[in-house]
Structure 1
């Protein structure tokens, strides 16, 4: 049994697809299919039920899943220990990140980190499914670390450290009737067509809870996963939105919300697994980022 067989098995199991598993592993699909088939022959068991457009773990596959994580974690720990004996930090870290990270640039973070730790490879994976998925992947071991947006203080199996917090603002076209207001309330916004973000995104959760708390229903006309696209739609008066203050720009009107909604970015780490030295060093670098606090008196970053 080879480590790459277990890596490819996990990639397929966690993406539900041989195609997406191969994309995650960075190899061609035929290599993943061959490795999984060989693993099945070695174990004398079928690990996946292969159906049209769907791959599901068998009972044997479910049994292998936690063991595969354990084996790969043990191999990574062995590499760490050998590197540590030479006075080095080496290894691979899989870092999940948000599509939008507020006022600081993750590329700058990675440049500085790689300059200080040249034997560490950071695999950056930007989520298109939202923070809920990233949190689950940190818990399962698919991600070593993740930048997430969540209002939760604690979650089972995870350690959460806040690295950024800022107010959220109401954003609309500059000619919108509410554009010249200094403040609006959630209760005033229920009839407006909203541009929002998919369920599972941290900012969507904050806004959903605010409307539910106010007892106000709203109409979501469009869902997007790109703040730039949202701004483009808003400034053409195709809908309104609520975004972190640093996501607003001069193309739109940004108005303070009477309700104090906040967007929070946190670093998620597993609490039940020993982190690799490389993962621990990257976490330290992220937690050392300068804290940005944006004023709550305006819709634009200060």
Structure 2
């Protein structure tokens, strides 16, 4: 396979929009979704990628009827393409600051549940202050773990996530909210009448939790592992669902962040006597890449949030 020649790259008239097309195709896993994201026709994206590969003298993408994959040259080119686009955005930001406004694409990742953080309100403030900033908001299947990885890879500019231990390497983390974790059991459970339980009291129980990678799951898994207790998670619920409804039906017990409101009927909430577990919501961005002005503006608005009372 042919590698990208350094001298040829220096001479190539690579256009920023072609870099944007390439990154979008990779992140969206296809030309159709990339075109929709960029608000251009698919033929323009395809032509742009062909032009980019012609200028570089290397094939960047494997194209099949089912999937799009990176070649070895594409793998090498992707981080530099992202950094070039980020540098171009920083140049635009510098000019925009002199005119009192910001623009460009802001890629935001978020958990399904962010506690009392009013993310829609922060995004509304951002839109009113900087109407030319285009917001792209999404989640990741693996929760906070996948969000952190996406930040490190440069796929996201900023994210609201949960940290279940030391901050991941390569990220700048700012806490937004912290809640103590508790145990939920069905009303008829033998432990339901107690105010607090020890982790050992839960040995042998069937657990309901979010999938691996979610912040609360990571915290609970680590606590039981550190205590030498094997925990069996028999039912994993989606990020937008709360385990409490499943606990109420007697399908298991759950370790969750303490809700601000009283739990649902049919469920008892117990404190954890021998472990100080906290679910922390944070705003995060890459330590390795300079943040865009729009990302910094949103971070400031999130840090200025006023906790709500309905979550």
Q: Same fold (TM over 0.5)?
A: yes
Partner of 2:171: 158
- Unaligned 5+ segments in structure 2 are 1-13
- Unaligned 5+ segments in structure 1 are 295-299
Aligned residues: 294
Partner of residue 262 from structure 1, selected from 251, 275, 278: 278
Instruction: State whether residues 103 and 246 of structure 1, in contact with CA within 8 Å, keep that contact through their aligned partners in structure 2.
Output: no
Task: Please say if 1:134 is aligned against 2:134.
Answer: no
Instruction: State whether residues 117 and 176 of structure 2, in contact with CA within 8 Å, keep that contact through their aligned partners in structure 1.
Output: no
Instruction: For residue 268 of structure 1, report the CA deviation from its aligned partner.
Output: 0.9
Partner of 2:184: 171
Work out the CA distance in 1 between the residues paired with 2:36 and 2:215.
24
**TM (normalized to structure 1)?**
0.85
Instruction: For residue 205 of structure 1, report the CA deviation from its aligned partner.
Output: 0.8
Work out the CA distance in 2 between the residues paired with 1:170 and 1:8.
47
Work out the CA distance in 2 between the residues paired with 1:80 and 1:221.
49
Partner of residue 264 from structure 2, selected from 225, 250, 259: 250
Partner of 2:206: 193
Instruction: For residue 62 of structure 1, report the CA deviation from its aligned partner.
Output: 1.7
Work out the CA distance in 2 between the residues paired with 1:220 and 1:27.
43
Work out the CA distance in 2 between the residues paired with 1:24 and 1:98.
24
Q: Greater CA deviation, 281-290 or 228-237?
A: 228-237
SS in 2 for 1:246: coil
Task: Please say if 1:125 is aligned against 2:138.
Answer: yes
Q: Which has the larger radius of gyration?
A: 2
SS in 2 for 1:165: strand
Instruction: State whether residues 35 and 42 of structure 2, in contact with CA within 8 Å, keep that contact through their aligned partners in structure 1.
Output: no
Partner of 2:11: none
SS in 2 for 1:179: coil
Instruction: For residue 37 of structure 1, report the CA deviation from its aligned partner.
Output: 3.8
Q: 1:86 to 1:108 in 2, by over 3 A?
A: closer
**TM (normalized to structure 2)?**
0.83
Partner of 1:297: none
| Deviations, residues 146-169 of structure 1 (Å, cap 9, x unaligned) | 111113444332111111111111
How does 1:43-54 map onto structure 2 within 5 Å?
A: 43-50=56-63
